[in-house]
Amino acid sequence: MGYNCVVCIKQVPDTGKVTGDAMKADGTINRAALPAIFNPEDRNALEAALRVRDAHGGTVTVVTMGLPAACAILREALMCGADKAYLVTDRRAAASDTLATSYILSQAVKKLNPDLVFCGRQAIDGDTAQTGPQIAEKLGATLVTYLEDLEIRDGFAYATRNIGTGTEKVKAKLPALFTVMEKCGELRPEQVRLAMKYKKARAPMELAKETAEAEYEALKAKGLDIGQWNLDDIGCDLSRCGKAGSPTLVNKIVNVVLAGGEFQEFQPTDEDVAKLVGSLIADHTIG
C-alpha cells in the first residue's frame, strides 16, 4: 500500500544574497532585488516525501501559500517528481503571521487527507521554525521535528531526530508531520522529461483573464493544471486568517546600525602587533 504525502513549501527571498545591490540608499532592503527561491529546507522536505513514495508507492502533493509567482517553485517540485501541486492564494491571507499561516495551510492539508506531512524545519526569510509544529497541532498529527532520517515500517514512522545535544530515534504514529533538516538529503535534480512537460503547468491566476477558463480546461486534460484554492475553497474561518487572525503585530522596524565605538588601527608590522598585544596585557584582557 502507498502513502499519501503532502509537502508544504515556500518561496522566499534569498536573504543570503543581501549585498550592495539589494540595499537602498537609506540602508533598507530592496526585496525586489533579491532572487526568489525554493526555501532550502523545503527542498529537503520534498526529497524525504519522494523517498517514501519510492519505497512504498503513493503520492506526493506539494502545497504553497503565496502570490501566483510562487507557482515557480510548484513547477520546480513537479519537475523533480511531485505528482500534484496546489497554490493557496487569497488577498485576505495577506499579513498572516505564523499562527494564521499555519491555520490556512492546515485547512489546505486537511483537504488532502495525508498520512505524512513534510515541512522544511524553517524558512530563511523568518527563521522562526514555527509553522510546521503549528500545522501539526491543528491537524492533530504526531509532531516529529528536526528529521534527519526516516523509514516507514508496519504503518509506523521510525525517525531519527536531531535534538541539538545529540540524536533521538523515535517510533511515531501516523498521521505525522515532520519538519525536515538538510541532513535528510538533497533534493534530486529535475528530470528532463518532467521539466519539458511541467514548464507549461499553470494555475488559473497565471493565465490571461479573458481566456483563463478554456485554457485551464485544456491544461487539465493534459495533467498540466496547478490546483488553486482561495480561503473559501478550503473552508477557512476568516477571523483566523490574515491580519484578523494574527495576534502578533509589528510595532516598529529599525534597520540594523552597526555600533561603532573607539577604533584604533594598527599596522601589520612586528612593532605594531607587539604594541597591540602589549595593550591587551596591560588592561588584563589577556595574560
Partner 1 sequence: MEREKGEVWIFAEQEDGVLNDVALELLGKGRELADTLGVPLAAVLLGSGVEGLAAKLFEHGADKVRLVDDPALKNYQNRSYREVMIELIEEVKPQICVYGATSLGRDLAPSIASALRCGLTADCTELGIGSYTDPVTKEEFANLLLQCRPAFGGNIIATIVNPRNWPQMATVREGVMKLPDATPGKTGELVRHEAKCLATLELPVEVLEVVRAAKSVNLKGARIIVAGGAGVGSAENFKLLHELADVLGGTVGGTRAAVDLGYCEHERQIGQTGVTVRPALYIACGISGAIQHLAGMQESQKIIAINTDKEAPIFSVAHYGIVGDLNDVLPKMIKAIKAKAAV
Residues 239-278 that bind partner 1 (CB under 8 A): 240, 246-256, 258-270, 272-274, 276-278
Single residue of 130, 185, 197, 224 touching partner 1 by CB under 8 A: 130
Which of 210/270 has CB closer to partner 1? 270
Q: Which residues ranging from 44 to 83 are in contact with partner 1 (CB under 8 A)?
A: none
Single residue of 2, 24, 28, 220 touching partner 1 by CB under 8 A: 28
Q: 226, 186, 231: which is closest to 72 by C-alpha?
A: 226
Q: How many residues bind partner 1 (CB under 8 A)?
A: 79
Which of 155/223 has CB closer to partner 1? 155
Is 41 a binding residue for partner 1 by CB under 8 A? The answer is no
Distance (Å, whole) CA 264 – CA 255: 26
Contact partners, residue 276, CB within 8 Å, separation at least 6: 266
Q: What is the closest distance, in whole angstroms, from the C-beta atom of residue 81 to partner 1 in the complex?
A: 27
Q: Phi, psi (5° rounding) for residue 12? A: -130, 150
| Three-class secondary structure of residue 71 per DSSP | helix
Distance (Å, whole) CA 247 – CA 220: 39
Is 35 a binding residue for partner 1 by CB under 8 A? The answer is no
Which of 35/261 has CB closer to partner 1? 261
Distance (Å, whole) CA 231 – CA 238: 8
DSSP 23: B
CB 241 within 8 Å of CB 103: yes
Q: What is the closest distance, in whole angstroms, from the C-beta atom of residue 119 to partner 1 in the complex?
A: 12
Which of 186/217 has CB closer to partner 1? 186
N-terminal to C-terminal alpha carbon distance within the chain: 67
Single residue of 24, 57, 69, 127 touching partner 1 by CB under 8 A: 127
Is 211 a binding residue for partner 1 by CB under 8 A? The answer is no
Site string for partner 1, 142-181 (x = CB under 8 A): xxxxx-----------x---xxxxxxxxxxxx--x-----
Q: Which three cell numbers stand for residue 99?
A: 499562527
Is 136 a binding residue for partner 1 by CB under 8 A? The answer is yes
CB 137 within 8 Å of CB 163: no
